[in-house]
Structure formats: structure tokens, C-alpha cells
Amino acid sequence: MFRKMLVVSTLLLLGGPSSGWAQRFEIAPLVGYRFGGQFSNIDDPTNSLVTNLKIDNSISYGAVADIGITPKVFIELLFERQPTKLFADIPNAPIDLFDLDVDYYHIGLRFESPFQVKQPRGFLTVTGGATNFIPAGDIPSELKASFGTSLGGEYFFQEHVGAIVLVRYVATFFNSSDQFFCPPDINQCLVLPSSTTLHQFEISGGVSFAF
């Protein structure tokens, strides 16, 4: 999947912009707040009471880069990290399991509003790639396929400097019987009995630089 996306992006770039249009590149560091999401119907071999896991809501940070291929369409590259915690969601007695970083690595397309409005600029993005779950300690990380979409807006105070605000949704996919967050040398992995999707929402903003 990653190879196909890279090939498509390269072909789009090699095609180049139409004559008479100056190609545009934008990059924006982002800071936001992410709603963590949860796993349901977990099978925990160490604790029969643990059936739901919850990723705590917390801040996120990262950067997004957009490469113009037409005046209204951009290739988008995204990296974002959420330093958070994983909880066993037991009623009235949640258990703090461990610290967890949740990273997005995505590539896709950004479509700006077709209306001839220069300021502010509204846009829709559709991206795909991977979500990486990185537990603290010796537990191996888990890399899963994910899909994202966002709505946002940009306002440039100057030709090359502006502000960006967006709302993003990311779905991360787990297969049935997936084993994850496995302690090293111990057969005590958490198990998902059926396929599931982790849903996460995020509000973020930052300073956008155009070149």
C-alpha cells in the first residue's frame, strides 16, 4: 500500500503544474488535542475484568507539508504524535497500564475550496498510511493501517506566513484475533476476538509557511 501511494505521488509530481501556474509548497508545525478512542471486547489473559481499553485524551504535535500539483489540489504529507496513556477501563476503578505514544504517518491529497475566495482558504484532505502505537518499556510497538480525513481553513497574514486550523478524523484497523501489546518473553498478549476499528478525533492548529 505504501509503495503504491509513493508511486502515485511521484507520478503526480513528475507531471508538474500546468503552464502559467507557479507551484506552491506549504509546511505547518501543528499543536492540537486528540480524543484517544477505545478498544472493546478485549481478551486479557492476566485479568478477566479487563474487557475495554481506553487511550487517554491528550495533546498532540507534529507537522503537515503540502505540495501543490494544481492551483486547488495538493499532495499532503503528515506526521503527528500523541504522548498519552493506556487505561484498562474498569467501572469505578480504571487501571493505568502504561505510557503510550500514538503516531500518524500519512500521505494523501488536499482539495481547496473550488470557490474563487483567496482569504480564508477552506480545504478537505483525504489521507492514508499507518498508525504506530509505541508503548513505554520493553513492549514492542504495533504498526497498523489507517485512514484519515480532515476539514480546515487557512488565513495568510502575509504572502508567506499564515495560520491553519483543522479538525481531523483517523480510523485505525485491527484484524480479528490480533494479538498486541505483548510483554517480552511472556505469552500474555491482549487479544481482539473480532475485527475492530479505533476511532480518533483531533483539533489542531499552527503557523503555516508558504514558498
Rounded to an integer, what distance in angstroms lies between the CA atom of residue 85 and that of residue 144?
A: 18
Q: Are 95 and 51 in contact (CB under 8 A)?
A: no
- Reported in sequence order, the residue ranges of 113-160 that DSSP labels E, i.e. its strands, are 121-135, 142-156
Task: Please give the pLDDT value at position 19.
Answer: 44
Walk me through the domains of the chain, giving residue ranges and CATH numbers: 2-13+24-210 (2.40.160.20)
Residue 34 grid coordinates: 486528540
Give per-residue pLDDT as tens, 91-137.
777 889 899 999 999 999 999 988 766 778 899 999 999 999 999 98
Mean predicted lDDT score pLDDT of the chain: 87
Residue 197, pLDDT > 90, answer yes
- Which range of 42-51, 144-153, 189-198 scores highest in mean pLDDT? It is 144-153
The share of the chain scoring above pLDDT 70, in percent, equals: 87
Task: Please give the pLDDT value at position 193.
Answer: 80
Of 92 and 3, more confident: 92
Give per-residue pLDDT as tens, 160-195.
999 999 999 999 999 988 888 888 766 778 888 888
β-pairing, 142-156 vs 53-55, is unpaired
Residue 2, pLDDT > 50, answer no
Q: Which of 26, 199, 15 is nearest to 102 (CA)?
A: 199
pLDDT band at 15 (very low <50, low <70, confident <90, very high): very low
Q: Are 136 and 100 in contact (CB under 8 A)?
A: yes
Give per-residue pLDDT as tens, 56-76.
999 999 999 999 999 999 999
Q: Please spell the DSSP secondary structure of 21-55, one letter per residue.
A: ----EEEEEEEEEEE--EE-S-B-TT-TT---EEE
pLDDT band at 18 (very low <50, low <70, confident <90, very high): very low
Query: Rounded mean pLDDT of 78-96?
Result: 90
